[in-house]
Chains A and B, each alone.
Chain A
Amino acid sequence: MSGANATGRHPSEDADVCIVGGGVAGGIVAHRLAERDYDVVLLEAGRRFDRAERHRQMEDALRPDVGGGDVWEMGGERDRYTSSGEFDYPLNRTRVKGVGGTTLHWLGITPRLHPEDFEMESRYGLAADWPFGYETLHRYYARAERELGVAGGTDNPFAPPRETEFPMPAFPQSHADAVFQAACDPLGITLHSVPQARNSEAYDGRSQCLGYSTCTPVCPSGAKYSGDVHVRKAEAEGARVIDRAPVQWLDHDGSGDSVTAAVYRTPDGDRHRQSARQFVLAAGAVETARLLLLSRSGQYPDGLANSSGAVGRYFMDHPSIEATGLVDEPPNPNPIGFHSSESHQFYDHEAPGPGTLKLEFKNPDPVSLPDLAVRGGDSRTREDVFDVAVGDAWGDALVERIESQMGGRTAFTVRATAEQLPLADNRVGLDHHNTDDAGNPVPDVDFGVGEHARETLEFAADLLRDIMDELDATDVSVDSVDDPRHASHHMGTTRMGEDPESSVVDARLRTHDLDNLTIASSSVFVTAGAMNPTLTIAALCLKAAEHVAADL
C-alpha cells in the first residue's frame, strides 16, 4: 500500500518517521519500522533504477565504445564536489545516488569488525573507543547477515567469535587461490574464504549467483544484495518512497530540541516540507554531514546537531595498495566478478607499530572479450576499397587477431587494505564558492592518509613484494604508498560517543543535540578497522531502528 496518504512527490500527512536516504541503511530502518506499522516516508535524492534496466547497464559497462560515464549516472551538476586535501578524492566514483544507494555498485564483501576495533583507545591508546563493544553488536551482526544474505565459511582462524552459521555456504576457492596459498605457505600466511552478501544458493526470493562476473558495477541477476532489496520490502509493508527528492535542509522547533521538517526539492524545482515525529539521516558519511552543515540556524550556527564541532570531522576511508605481477600460470578458466580468498592474519596485533590490514587475493580472470572484440575507428588510409588488410576485423579474422593477443603469463594481483585512524583534520565541509544544481554549497572533501595508515601501507608494501617474490612474478608493480587507492568506504563525520562535547550521536545513534534525530550511517563509526563497513552499517541500523521504535 505504498503512497497511502499522498500522491506523487507531495509530502505525507501524519508521518511517524521521515528517513533521508534510500541505500542499505535507510532501507533497513524503513523496513524495520514499516513492518511495525509505523507510517514511514523515505526521501531519496537519486532515482529508481528498474531491475529491467540492468542488462542494458551491463552492456554499457562492458562495451568499450559506449560513452556517457557511470552506469549509475553519477557525476552531473547534482553531484558536484570539491576535493581540497592532500589527495584528490574521487568522490563520485565511490558512491551512487539512487534507490539502493552505493550498494548498487558495491562488491558485496561483508566481514564483521573485530572486538579490538571498538576499543582502540583502551587497548592501544589510539583514537577513541566506541560507546559499546563487539558483544553489544554481536546479535545485530547475526541478524544483519540474515537480512543481507551472507555466504561465508568457518575456515577463517582470525575471525571474531560467532555463535551462528552463515546463512549460506561460502563460495568455493579458485585455481588461483591455490596458487596464492602455495606462494604464501613459505611466508606463513594463511588464506581463507570471504564472507559476502552474494547468494551462493537461492536466498530471500533472489536467485543464486548466475556468474555474470560483472558484480561491480552491476549485478543483473540480483544475486548480489543491494539496498533496494530492503526498500522494496519496506514498500511492501506500507512505507512510501519518494525518489529524486534531495533534502535541502532540516528545520527545527523554537527550542532547538526537535527537528520539525525535512525540506526537499522535486524535479520540477518545487520545494516541499515533510513533517514527522522522528527523523533518520541515512545518506552516507558525506551527504549526511553536508545536510547537517546546510541546516545551520541561529541556534546552530555551525550546523544542526553540531554543538560539538565534530560534524564533518574524522572522515575515514580504507587506503589500499595493490601489487600486480606476471605469473607463469594460466588464468582461471572462466571469469568471476569477485575474489574468493582473503587473509585477516594481519588484523590481530597486540604490538605497537603498523596498524591493522587485510589482504585480498584477486581472481585472475580471462580477459574481458568485448574489450578485444568491440572496436572501430581504424582510420588508416587504404589504397583501394577492396583492400581487406586494412580496417577492423570481424568473423574468423577477428578470432585470429584476438588469439594472437592472448596467452603468455598471467597478471596476479594482491590488494592490501589498511586501517585509517580518525583524524580531526580529515573532514567533509562545505565549499561556498561552488554550488550544485539546487544552488547549495557542494561538499568539500579534505582528506589525507595520516602517519598511522602510511606506516601500515609501508608494512603492507613489503608484504606484497614478498608474496610476489614467492609467486616468481615478473614485471611486478606495487602502488605507491604516497598515492594509495581508496576503498570507497566513507566513515566518520558524525561520530558516536558518550560525550556531547566530542561526538555527534550517542550509543542509540541519536544526536546529542536533538531528541528526535537519529543517524543511521557509517558516519557514526568511531574507528574504521580494516574491514568493509556495510555489514556493520546494517547491524547499527537494526539497533537504531529498535531505539526509534521505542521513542515512537
Chain B
Amino acid sequence: MRLTRRQTVATVLAGGLATSAALQSLPARGRSGGSREADVTDAETQSLTALAEVVSPADVSDPAVLVEGYLRYQPSDSREGIREAIAALDTQARRRYGGAFATLSAAERERLLRELGVDRTAPVRDGTVPERVRYHLVNGLLYALYTNPAGSRQLGVENPRGHPGGYESYAESPDEGSR
C-alpha cells in the first residue's frame, strides 16, 4: 500500500517544516556547515535510500526525504562513520551479488543484511562491519523514521518525540488523533 496523495503531501510538508525550522535555529556558522553535505556523495545517498526502502514500512513512499533530513545535521565524524559503513555494505553487495547495494533488488538487499547478521548483531559505533551497518545505517534510519510523522503515523502518533511538529498537538483530545 502506498501513501495517499494527501498523506504524501503531509509527509513532504512535515519534512519541509523540519528543514526550515532546523535552519532557522542554526547560527550562521552552522548553516555554512551545511556544505558538509558534500561529504556524502550522491552514490552514497542512493545506497542509504536503498537501505531506507528496506527498513521502512511499505506505506512510506519516499524514504529519500528521510535520508536527506537525517544527513543534514550529522556532524562530520558521524558522516564519516556513515560513509565507511556504506562503503563496507557496497563491498559486501558486490562480492555476493555482483553490484552496489543500490542496484540490488529489494529481496536481495534484505537477504544481504540478514546474511551479514545485521538483524542480530548489536549496534556498535566502531565495531565490525555488521555492527557498524547496524549502528550507523539501520539504526540511524530507524531513528530518522520514527522521529518523523512518516514513520510514527503508522503507529498513530502524528507528531512524534524528536519532530518539530508544533506544541499544540499535545493538547488535542485523543479523538482528534489519527487513529
Q: Contacts A51-B26, A377-B121; is A333 near B157 (CB within 8 Å)? A: yes
Q: Could you say which of B55, B78, B171 contacts A395, with CB atoms under 8 Å apart?
A: B55
- Tell me which residues across on chain B come within 8 A of A208, comparing CB atoms: 167
- Tell me which residues across on chain A come within 8 A of B142, comparing CB atoms: 370, 373-374, 394, 398
| A270 interfacial by beta-carbon distance below 8 Å | no
- Tell me which residues across on chain A come within 8 A of B24, comparing CB atoms: 207
Interface string of A321-358 (1 = CB under 8 A from B): 00000000011111111001000000000000000000
Interface string of B114-150 (1 = CB under 8 A from A): 1100011111000000000011001100110111000
- A285 vs chain B, min Cβ distance (A): 31
Instruction: Indicate the member of A51, A59, A172 with the most B CB atoms within 10 Å.
Output: A59
Interface string of A35-46 (1 = CB under 8 A from B): 000000000000
The segment from A97-105, A288-296, A361-369 that touches chain B is A361-369
- Tell me which residues across on chain A come within 8 A of B92, comparing CB atoms: none
| Residue contact A211 to B159, C-beta cutoff 8 Å | yes
Which residues 33-70 of A have a CB within 8 angstroms of B? 50-56, 58-59, 62-63, 65
Q: Contacts A52-B30, A56-B78; is A377 near B25 (CB within 8 Å)? A: no
Q: Could you say which of A380, A386, A396 contacts B120, with CB atoms under 8 Å apart?
A: A380
| A214 interfacial by beta-carbon distance below 8 Å | yes
| A210 interfacial by beta-carbon distance below 8 Å | yes
Q: Could you say which of A334, A340, A378, A399 contacts B159, with CB atoms under 8 Å apart?
A: A334
- B29 vs chain A, min Cβ distance (A): 7
| Residue contact B123 to A52, C-beta cutoff 8 Å | no
Q: Which B-chain residue is minimally distant from A392 (CB atoms)?
A: B119
- A333 vs chain B, min Cβ distance (A): 3
| B45 interfacial by beta-carbon distance below 8 Å | no
Give the docked Cα–Cα distance between A380 and B121 (Å): 10
Interface string of B144-179 (1 = CB under 8 A from A): 011100011011111111111111111111101110
- A62 vs chain B, min Cβ distance (A): 5
| Residue contact B122 to A377, C-beta cutoff 8 Å | yes
Give the docked Cα–Cα distance between A395 and B178 (Å): 21
Q: Contacts A65-B123, A385-B114, A394-B138; is A334 near B169 (CB within 8 Å)? A: yes
Give the docked Cα–Cα distance between A194 and B169 (Å): 18
Q: Contacts A212-B164, A369-B146; is A334 near B120 (CB within 8 Å)? A: no
Q: Which A-chain residue is minimally distant from B179 (CB atoms)?
A: A333
| B56 interfacial by beta-carbon distance below 8 Å | yes
- Tell me which residues across on chain A come within 8 A of B9, comparing CB atoms: none
Q: Which A-chain residue is minimally distant from B159 (CB atoms)?
A: A334
Give the docked Cα–Cα distance between A331 and B154 (Å): 17
| Residue contact A333 to B120, C-beta cutoff 8 Å | no
| A108 interfacial by beta-carbon distance below 8 Å | no
Q: Contacts A213-B162, A370-B147; is A171 near B167 (CB within 8 Å)? A: yes
- Tell me which residues across on chain A come within 8 A of B174, comparing CB atoms: 175, 330-333
- Tell me which residues across on chain A come within 8 A of B159, comparing CB atoms: 211, 213, 334-335
Give the docked Cα–Cα distance between A399 and B155 (Å): 7
Give the docked Cα–Cα distance between A276 and B163 (Å): 46
Give the docked Cα–Cα distance between A210 and B138 (Å): 27
| B21 interfacial by beta-carbon distance below 8 Å | yes
Give the docked Cα–Cα distance between A251 and B112 (Å): 66
Which residues 393-428 of A have a CB within 8 angstroms of B? 393-396, 398-399, 402-403, 406
- B152 vs chain A, min Cβ distance (A): 6
Q: Contacts A221-B25, A369-B147; is A175 near B172 (CB within 8 Å)? A: yes
- Tell me which residues across on chain A come within 8 A of B55, comparing CB atoms: 394-395, 398
Q: Could you say which of A62, A211, A222, A368 contacts B166, with CB atoms under 8 Å apart?
A: A211
- B129 vs chain A, min Cβ distance (A): 14
Instruction: Indicate the member of A53, A200, A210, A393 with the most B CB atoms within 10 Å.
Output: A210
Q: Which B-chain residue is minimally distant from A177 (CB atoms)?
A: B171
| Residue contact A62 to B143, C-beta cutoff 8 Å | yes
| Residue contact B166 to A210, C-beta cutoff 8 Å | yes
| Residue contact A378 to B57, C-beta cutoff 8 Å | no
| Residue contact A51 to B25, C-beta cutoff 8 Å | yes
- B28 vs chain A, min Cβ distance (A): 10
- Tell me which residues across on chain A come within 8 A of B166, comparing CB atoms: 210-211
Q: Contacts A65-B139, A373-B142, A374-B139; is A211 near B163 (CB within 8 Å)? A: yes
Q: Contacts A213-B162, A221-B25; is A376 near B139 (CB within 8 Å)? A: yes
- Tell me which residues across on chain B come within 8 A of A379, comparing CB atoms: 120, 122
| A390 interfacial by beta-carbon distance below 8 Å | yes
Q: Could you say which of B111, B119, B120, B161 contacts A62, with CB atoms under 8 Å apart?
A: B161
- B43 vs chain A, min Cβ distance (A): 23
Q: Contacts A335-B170, A374-B142, A395-B56; is A213 near B161 (CB within 8 Å)? A: yes
Give the docked Cα–Cα distance between A374 and B143 (Å): 6
| Residue contact A395 to B168, C-beta cutoff 8 Å | no
Q: Contacts A55-B73, A171-B167, A395-B58; is A62 near B147 (CB within 8 Å)? A: yes
- Tell me which residues across on chain B come within 8 A of A7, comparing CB atoms: none
| Residue contact A335 to B25, C-beta cutoff 8 Å | no
| A209 interfacial by beta-carbon distance below 8 Å | yes
Give the docked Cα–Cα distance between A390 and B167 (Å): 39
| Residue contact A212 to B161, C-beta cutoff 8 Å | yes
| A220 interfacial by beta-carbon distance below 8 Å | yes
- Tell me which residues across on chain B come within 8 A of A398, comparing CB atoms: 55, 57, 142
- Tell me which residues across on chain B come within 8 A of A210, comparing CB atoms: 21, 164-167
- B64 vs chain A, min Cβ distance (A): 17
Between-chain CB contacts (< 8 Å), 26 pairs: A50-B30, A51-B27, A52-B73, A171-B171, A172-B171, A200-B167, A213-B161, A214-B161, A220-B164, A333-B176, A334-B165, A369-B151, A369-B152, A369-B157, A370-B146, A370-B161, A373-B145, A373-B151, A374-B139, A374-B142, A374-B143, A380-B120, A386-B114, A392-B119, A392-B120, A393-B119
B residues whose Cβ falls under 8 Å from a Cβ of A: 21-22, 24-27, 29-30, 33, 54-58, 73-75, 78, 111, 114-115, 119-123, 134-135, 138-139, 142-143, 145-147, 151-152, 154-174, 176-178
**Minimum-distance CB pairs A-B, first 10:** A52-B30, A391-B119, A333-B177, A336-B170, A210-B164, A377-B122, A369-B146, A334-B169, A55-B73, A394-B55
If A211-B165, A332-B170, A399-B154 are given as contacts, then 11 extra A-B residue pairs at C-beta distance below 8 Å, sorted by A number, are A51-B27, A52-B26, A62-B143, A208-B167, A210-B165, A211-B169, A222-B25, A369-B161, A375-B139, A377-B120, A385-B115
